[in-house]
Structure 1
Amino acid sequence: MHGTFAAPDACPALVLNADYRPLSYYPLSLWSWQDAIKAVFLDRVNIVSSYETLVRSPTFEMQLPSVVSLKSYVKPTRFPAFTRFNLFLRDRFTCQYCSARLELTFDHVIPRSRGGQTTWENVVTACAPCNLKKGGKMPEHAAMFPMQAPFRPTVGDLHKNGRAFPPNYLHESWQDYLYWDSELEP
């Protein structure tokens, strides 16, 4: 076995479910090299692909896994957690009032002061200027209506949106597993 000795921290492993789909697309399901090796030794994963980078101990040598698949299928949740990041992802990191992509925050369509709740169905991504402009007014009083009505997304909705914002680093061994269910171009 031969290989290089690049920094192991630059070698995360893509984690696939037992059906060879990523556990999540965005944020991408990645494990540190230490977690990947631990899972290999605990016999929880299969190594699908490896880096050329080696790790060694006095009695052991191994190429770092670049892609691993779980041996047991993990049933994905249908609905994602309501977090700021997931909200921004649902709304494609775009202000729902003016399409800006800077200074993002969120806005309660029906203001909290008017009984609006902090839920998927009442919160949208907004830039700071639009959020300030709308303030505590109802949409019709502010003449500001979201481009897309707020809704509770599925994990599939977020995966679809996440594909438009790929991570900064994609190892070539991951390509076959990230977009295998994307529509092919004619």
Structure 2
Amino acid sequence: MGQVLVLNASYEPLNITTWRRATVLMLKGKAETLEEDSSHKLRHDTLLPTVIRLRHFVRVPYRELPLTRKNIIQRDNNCCQYCGSFNEKLSIDHVLPRSRGGRDEWSNVTTACLTCNVMKGNRTPQEAGMTLKKIPFKPLSNMSFEAKKQINSGRYKEWSKYVIGWS
């Protein structure tokens, strides 16, 4: 059976939990159901929740998502941002090359297959005549990656309207 996306009172994704834990939160009155899975029913014709929202706001300390190779590749959906290929070995490309003052920042790094990275070389995408499929951005949280995996698997399409930035 399924997993449940837990949203804060402000509709911000908090975590992914089991349907049992979600049901307990709802029975205690701490959460409400926003989306249900019509193909699975619990006892007494109760539908299995897929998205719940907490009734009271939970303060979560802010932790910045580290800029790592794994996180960059995950953000860019394991795809070259120049040619769109999925099955190539990916490298990290600086949109504005480091030799020209480009920094290691979310907005300046992207994934590129080795062929595209060599073609671009020490130039900007405009100078190389290459266009980015998606402008690099800083992800909100690691939670977005987990939810994105579930959305892309096709199991939880209804989550996409609650996870901002992943369409």
Which TM bucket (shorter chain)? 0.5 to 0.7
Aligned pairs for 1:85-164 (under 5 A) are 87-88=72-73, 91=76, 94-103=79-88, 104-112=90-98, 115-131=101-117, 133-134=118-119, 137-139=121-123, 144=128, 146-148=130-132, 150-153=135-138, 155=140
C-alpha contact 2:99 2:122 (8 A) present in aligned 1: no
Unaligned runs of 5+ in 1: 1-9, 55-61, 181-186
Distance change (3 Å), C-alpha of 1:147 and 1:76: farther
Question: How many residue pairs align between the two structures?
Answer: 146
Instruction: Name the larger-Rg structure.
Output: 1
In 2, distance between residues paired with 1:169 and 1:34?
A: 22
- Give the TM-score of the pair, scaled to structure 2: 0.54
Structure 2 segments unaligned to the other structure (5+ residues): 163-167
Amino acid at match of 2:93: D
Amino acid at match of 2:108: N
Q: Which has the higher helix share?
A: 2
CA shift, 1:114, in A, is 5.8
Q: Percent identity?
A: 28
Instruction: Report the TM-score when normalising by structure 1.
Output: 0.50
Q: Report 1:1-186 matches (<5 A).
A: 10-18=1-9, 21=11, 23=13, 30-37=16-23, 39-40=25-26, 43-48=29-34, 49=36, 51-53=40-42, 65-73=49-57, 81=65, 82=67, 84=69, 87-88=72-73, 91=76, 94-103=79-88, 104-112=90-98, 115-131=101-117, 133-134=118-119, 137-139=121-123, 144=128, 146-148=130-132, 150-153=135-138, 155=140, 166-170=151-155, 175=158, 178-179=160-161
List per-residue Cα deviations over 1:142-163 (Å, max 9, x = no partner): x6355138543575xxx8xx98
**Higher normalized contact order (CA 8 Å, seq sep 6+, divided by chain length):** 1
